[in-house]
Amino acid sequence: MADKPSDKSIKKQVPSSERTICEATRQMLDKARRDGVILDLDRGYDMKPCPIGVESACCKHCYMGPCRLNPRDPYKKVGVCGATIDTIMARNFGRNVATGSASHNDHGRHILGLFRNIVEGKTRDFTIDDTMKLERVATSIGIETEGREIYDVAKELCDELEKTFSNVDGEMPFTKRVPEATLEQWRKDDIVPRGAMVEVMELMSRTHIGCDQDYNNLIKQISRTALADGWGGSMVATELSDIMFGTPSPTLAEVNMGVLKEDHVNIIVHGHEPAMFEGMLAAVGDSFYIEEARAKGAKGINLVGMCCSGAEMMSRHGVPHAGNFGSTEAVVVTGAVDAMVVDIQCIKQGLAEVAKCYDTHLITTNPRCHIEGATHIEFDEQDPRTCTDQILTKAITRYAGRKHPVEIPKMTQTGVHGFTHEYIEYMLGGSFRGSYTPLNENIINGRIRGVAGVVGCTNPKVQQDSVHVALVKELIKNDVLVLQTGCSQIALAKAGLLTPEAAPLAGPGLAEVCETVGIPPVLGLGSCVDNTRILIAASAMVEAGGLGSSLADLPVAGCAPEWMSEKALAIGQYFVASGVYTIFGIGFPTIKETKFHDLLFDGLEKQGYGKWGTAKDPVEIARMMIAHIDKKRKELGIDKSRERVLVDMSDRRDIA
């Protein structure tokens, strides 16, 4: 029996099946309740958020306040300083975006630091894995590669990408990948990101009391800071991780809690940066520790991932995945987790309490993320084994002395993961004529209605995974090809939609393409930082021709139906500023019929950008996304082609 947490309790509880559609998580929630352990899924139901905060109608940017405005009559009152509801909402939104952008840029800067250490020969435990990708990325930002030594190119790439963070003027290196018409619009409005540090700094400065108090002006710096994430730090993180650890290609992987093994030492890695996980992957193959584990009665050491670094390692190496953000506390309740090892972002502090209840080692490894009550063993990329060896020793010792009965939900789903923008190009065009033209042609001829990015977190405000799954089913049924990342991808993988066998769930046109090419109707592209793969794929669609000249012309839409983080808001804003209609479920931190809300949900589109949308019901969200895709098809003059639905043999040959 688990040790009960001391004086914590919850007032309201509903049947576990109402908290999640993930059967494994539901089983563990029931067990936690029996064990007297409180999980986030119950805390989330019990918590009643402040209604003023939910609508972003409060300000605590100075201590003349905090000031609360009336969300039902937002123009009746202003803050002590005179700030209006539009200023207050814009500043709050701006600071959310600044934090999200800072998180991804901090991640990207750290990845760049590792890359520099490799280039300068300061670390021997990591290397350059994908030289072809290195050359491709270097070429994309104008670095000459012909006839040069690979480390010479890498050094120049490193110096160039450093500007992503340190530039104080000019344009970020990866903006060279933005379609010309989109980039011109950014130049016209003076929102091309310069360097991430200056963008975040300026946004924080402009949101100080008594500074930028016109939401129309603030939105420009908000967009610039968000673009510094998508076309900056996040893109650096994804591209350099591919270069160092290998560019993913489709691979079969197992998902869900059944990947844990009762007779093995189980180690879960959860977080966002791949370096520590790569270090663990190398260490668990060490015969010394395998023998140690066997000497303690285990059959071996089982390394699995969770959340986004799990999604990344699954895409790249096929490492099994135990579940998304909504299951990270629940998985500990199995009693089978000997160590949960974490790095940065989306790691609930509640894990410390749950881990204590089941004697699981919760181990923090990153100097930027300690957790009170966890053991900190710092991971040093120049000496990874000092950290990973201690983790292995602790996990093996915990296995040998397991005190709690083990109950592992016997559920796994096998799916195809590891799609990239490079692979989409290859799979549709073949190795000799790799191109996005076949994708565009299938959109133009109407077999594929459009493309949707469905991404983001899970949030205990709604039944875990339910909105993701219902939304994606509705989209593919209507011939919309779905690209996925992050915790959303794991939700759909658990629901069995990341297999080619899911093609019959798609509409007739999309199903034809999937069956001919041999792909699922839902393509998993990795972690939340890998949303940049969607940006690059969309840019390639513009370049391939026939679908307009800017990203805003494409028949595409995005959604984060169960979002919860500030990173999600930064991602949403970089998609909107790039030209994409982006819908958030759960709710949105603005008040309807205010000027700032109208700007985000309508005005930006009139200026030539994308726009925000919000709805809670998955079918309603799908309807909004499809209506937007159809609107773009009409503007492109390709709306008539969808009238042809029958596909004959010659059509089939054309699909591939």
Which residues are at the interface with ligand SF4 (CB under 6 A)?
A: 59-62, 64-67, 79-81, 83, 88, 209
Residues 6+ apart with CB under 8 A from 161: 112, 173, 236, 240
What's the min distance (Å) between Cβ of 62 and ligand MSK?
30
Residues with Cβ within 8 Å of 410's Cβ and at least 6 positions away in sequence, in order, are 258
Residue 269 in 3-state DSSP?
A: strand
Q: Which of 453, 449, 454 is nearest to 636 (CA)?
A: 449
Backbone angles phi, psi at 442, to 5 degrees: -70, -25
Shortest Å distance, C-beta 447 to ligand MSK: 30
CA distance 172 to 566: 22
Calpha distance 539→102 (Å, rounded):
24
Give the nearer residue to ligand MSK in terms of CB position, either 265 or 346. 346
The minimum distance between CB 299 and ligand MSK, in angstroms, equals: 31
8 Å CB contact between 496 and 256: no
193 binds ligand MSK (CB under 6 A): no
- Please choose which of ligand MSK, ligand SF4, none residue 307 contacts, taking the beta carbon within 5 to 8 angstroms, the exact cut-off set by kind: ligand MSK
Which of ligand SF4, ligand MSK, none does residue 60 bind (CB under 5 to 8 Å by kind)? ligand SF4
Distance CA 254, CA 192 (A): 41
303, 307, 344, 480: which one binds ligand MSK (CB under 6 A): 307
Q: Does 527 bind ligand MSK (CB under 6 A)?
A: yes
Residue 456 interface partner, choices ligand SF4, ligand MSK, none, CB cut-off 5-8 Å depending on type: ligand MSK
* Residue 247 partner contact from ligand MSK, ligand SF4, none using kind-dependent CB cut-offs of 5 to 8 Å: none
How distant, in Å, are the alpha carbons of 21, 45, 403, 470, 631 from that of 18? 8, 10, 31, 15, 36
Binding mask 341-360 for ligand MSK (x = CB under 6 A): -----x--------------
Q: Could you say which residues in the range 375-434 bind ligand MSK, by CB under 6 A? A: none
Phi, psi at 406, each rounded to 5°: -95, 130
Nearer to ligand MSK, 346 or 621 (CB): 346
Interacting residue with ligand MSK among 226, 280, 457, 542 (CB under 6 A): 457
Kindly indicate which of the ranges 226-234, 287-295, 357-365, 563-571 contains the residues binding ligand MSK, using the contact rule CB under 6 A: 563-571
Residue 317, classed as helix, strand or coil, is helix
Q: Which does 567 bind (CB under 5 to 8 A by kind): ligand MSK, ligand SF4, none?
A: ligand MSK
Q: Pick the stretch among 216-224, 225-233, 540-548, 562-570 that binds ligand MSK (CB under 6 A).
A: 562-570
CB of 530 to ligand MSK, least distance (A): 9
**Min separation Cβ 582 and ligand MSK, Å:** 15
Choose the one of ligand MSK, ligand SF4, none that binds residue 61, judging by a C-beta under 5 to 8 angstroms depending on kind.
ligand SF4
- Among ligand SF4, ligand MSK, none, partner that 230 touches (CB below 5 to 8 angstroms by kind): none
End-to-end CA distance of the chain: 57
CB of 511 to ligand MSK, least distance (A): 28
Which residue's Cβ has the minimum distance to ligand SF4?
79
**Considering the rule CB under 6 A, would residue 467 count as an interface residue with ligand MSK?**
no
Is 267 in contact with 391 (CB distance < 8 Å)? yes
Q: Is the CB of 57 or the CB of 647 nearer to ligand SF4?
A: 57
In one-letter notation, the amino acid at residue 90 is: A
Count of residues making up the chain: 656
| 193 interface partner picked from ligand SF4, ligand MSK, none, CB below 5 to 8 A per type | none
The entry of ligand MSK, ligand SF4, none near residue 346 (CB within 5 to 8 angstroms by kind) is ligand MSK
Q: Which of 582, 551, 553, 573 is nearest to 175 (CA)?
A: 551
- Side-chain-side CA neighbours of residue 159 (13 Å): 8
Which part of the chain contacts ligand MSK (CB under 6 A), choosing from 87-95, 412-420, 539-547, 564-572?
A: 564-572
Which sign does the torsion angle of CA 187, 189, 190, 191 carry? negative
Q: Minimum CB separation from ligand SF4 for residue 74, in Å? A: 13
Q: Count residues contacting ligand MSK (CB under 6 A)?
A: 14
Q: Least Å distance between CB 555 and ligand SF4?
A: 41
Q: Measured between alpha carbons, how far is residue 438 from residues 216, 333, 433, 451, 521 in Å?
A: 40, 47, 10, 14, 16
Cis peptide before 15 (omega within 30 of 0): no
DSSP 461: T
With CB under 5 to 8 Å by kind, the binding choice for 81 among ligand MSK, ligand SF4, none is ligand SF4
Counting other chains too, the contacts that 143-151 makes at CB distance below 8 Å and 24 or more residues apart are 151/119
Check binding of 22 to ligand MSK (CB under 6 A): no
What ranges in 246-383 are assigned the alpha helix state H? 274-283, 287-295, 307-317, 350-357
Near ligand MSK by CB under 6 A: residue from 298, 308, 439, 576: 308
Nearer to ligand MSK, 289 or 325 (CB): 325
Integer CA distances (angstroms), 6 to 316, 331, 359, in order? 42, 21, 16
Query: Is 456 a residue that touches ligand MSK (CB under 6 A)?
Result: yes
Give CA–CA dist 382/262, Å, rounded.
33
633 binds, among ligand SF4, ligand MSK, none (CB under 5 to 8 A by kind): none
Distances (CA, A) of 650 to 8, 88, 448, 653: 66, 59, 17, 5
Binding residues for ligand MSK, rule: CB under 6 A, are 272, 307-308, 325, 346, 456-457, 486-487, 527-528, 565, 567-568
